[in-house]
Amino acid sequence: MSKIRKIGIITGGGDCSGLNAVINGITKTAVNKYGVEVVGFTRGYSGLYKNDYRPLGLRSVSGIMHEGGTILKSSNKDNLFDYPVMKEDGTVEYKDVSDQAIKNLEYLGVDALIVMGGDGTLTSARDFYRKGLPVVGVPKTIDNDLPATDVTFGYNTSLETITDALDKIHTTAYSHDRVMVVEVMGRHTGWLALEGGLAGSADVILIPEIPYDINKIVEKVRQRDAFGRNFSIIVISEGAKPKGGDVTVREHVEDSADSVRLGGVGKILTDQLQELIPEHEVRYTNLAYIQRGGITSQFDRALGLLFGVNAVDLLMNGGAGRMVQLRGRKISSIPLEDVVGGGEMGETSTGGGKQVDPEGQYVQAAKSIGITFGE
């Protein structure tokens, strides 16, 4: 590998707390430890294609550790290997424009990339590595559904937000004897609902891994009524589904790598419960994008910083083509091919989502203290 003198940074996919901590760690390590320049491309891969960037130095990353989101902004719609280009007749044609991105990097003197993102963003990172560009990946998602790492930054901050919201909703549920349905993110995995619901004293937790029977939920509410607890809190993941049913799709975004957007199952459940338990007022709250933003938790600041520092060390010591990961309390790395799959020999990917185990300790602990999953 030729000597690396300048590193480019990309933040792709949905934003989350902890991204700025990674940017901070990358920049300060590159400058202080290796004497390497750093530039950040804005709005994900779009900035790489449009040559939209900003230099990053010690001054520009000072004081950003606590901030949510990303100072570089982000995009989850720009796959440079299948990019929408407007033709003269007004129609859109999808083309591979990755060579233009490579030319932009050469023009700027950028020798390598560190890319933060989930499956779609890291798939493109792998593809750029296949084209000969030194790339290191950093895993990012609030859903904690990437099997290649024990946990991702942003997840802890989201859990804190969910727990705080449930604490606040608890008082209003108690005051009015209401059944409160709270919908949280998570896509096809229930980690946010499960751990947030546990910490926030939910009475019912509904997750994608355990299809629910609405009659079991009604039974739980009436059990609490008989016990003198005339209110209930139900936490439902956006990917939850009834037995024999399917997920609730909020919309399709055709120009996104993740075109299917889930959401709204909590409102459907609320309307159904209002018919079945008319003695209660049933109210619905969707935490939605509140879960993505806000002040970054201590854990996510520390994890993001460690990922950033280790990503630079990995890159500078010949570890291109890999992604940093957390295993136990140690930062290590794994080949990008093993993270997103699609190797030339058809090897099995570790992707596909890290699911909640219905027989696992968290679910069993919840059942032990009386929480129902609508089974």
For 98-135, the pLDDT digits (tens) are: 999 999 999 999 999 999 998 889 999 999 999 999 99
Residue 199 tokens, joined: 């910490």
Residue 258: pLDDT band (50, 70, 90) is low
Give the model's pLDDT for residue 256. 62
219 and 363 assigned to the same domain = yes
Instruction: Please give the average per-residue pLDDT across 231-248, as a whole number.
Output: 95
Let me know whether 42 and 123 are in one domain: yes
Is the pLDDT at 1 greater than 90? The verdict is no
Q: Which two tokens stand for residue 96?
A: 């591979």
In the prediction, which pLDDT does 271 show?
97
218 and 363, same structural domain? yes
Helix residue spans in 131-190 (DSSP H): 155-176
Kindly indicate the confidence band of residue 248, based on its pLDDT and cuts at 50, 70 and 90.
confident
Report the pLDDT averaged over residues 250-254.
Answer: 70
pLDDT tens digit sequence for 48-94:
999 999 999 999 999 999 999 999 999 888 899 999 888 888 898 99
- Work out the average pLDDT over 354-358: 94
Decide if 143 is catalytic.
Answer: yes
Does a structural domain hold residue 348? no
pLDDT at 255: 61
Considering only residues 293 and 316, tell me which one the structure prediction assigns the higher pLDDT: 316
pLDDT digits (tens, 9 = 90+) for 144-156: 998 899 999 999 9
Residues 304 and 284 in one domain: no
- Shared domain check, 282 and 315: no
The answer to whether residue 2 scores a pLDDT higher than 80 is no
- The answer to whether position 89 is within a domain reads yes
Q: Per-residue pLDDT for 358 more than 80?
A: yes
Work out the percent of the chain whose per-residue pLDDT is above 90.
85
Asked whether residue 373 is assigned to any structural domain, the reply reads no
Is the pLDDT at 344 greater than 50? The verdict is: no
pLDDT number for residue 347: 33
Q: How far apart are CA 104 and CA 332, in angstroms?
A: 31
Strands (E), the chain: 6-11, 37-41, 53-56, 83-86, 92-95, 112-117, 135-139, 179-184, 204-206, 232-237, 249-252, 260-262, 282-286, 322-327, 330-335
Amino acid letter, residue 318: G
Q: Is residue 306, in this structure, part of any structural domain at all?
A: yes
**CA separation for the pair 9, 24 (Å, rounded):** 11
Q: Which of 133-147, 229-243, 329-343 has the lowest mean pLDDT?
A: 329-343
Q: Is residue 350 part of a domain?
A: no
On whether the CB atoms of residues 304 and 157 are closer than 8 A, the answer is no
How far CA 299 is from CA of 4, 51, 225, in Å, comes to 31, 34, 38
Considering the domain architecture, whether residues 161 and 283 belong to the same structural domain is answered as yes
Would you state the pLDDT for residue 117? 93
Q: Round to whole Å and give the CA distance between 235 and 266.
A: 9
Q: Which of 300, 288, 299 is nearest to 263 (CA)?
A: 288
Provide the number of structural domains found in the chain.
2
CATH of the domain at 114: 3.40.50.450
| 42 and 170, same domain (yes or no) | no
Residue 150 within a domain: no
Same domain, 244 and 165: yes
Single out the catalytic residue among 78, 111, 143, 145: 143
CB 87 within 8 A of CB 69: no
Answer yes or no: is 374 within a domain.
no
Q: DSSP code of 321? A: T
Note down the domain range covering 123: 6-141+296-340
Q: Is 248 found in the same domain as 161?
A: yes
- pLDDT band at residue 343, thresholds of 50, 70 and 90? very low
Mean pLDDT for the stretch of residues 34-42:
98
- To the nearest whole number, what is the mean pLDDT of the chain? 93
Q: Is 345 domain-assigned? A: no
The structure's pTM equals 0.92
User: What is the 3 state secondary structure string of 55-89?
Assistant: EECCCCCCCCCCCCCCCCCCCCCCCCCCEEEECCC
Q: Determine the pLDDT at residue 272.
A: 98
What CATH number is associated with residue 258?
3.40.50.460
For position 260, what pLDDT does the model report? 74
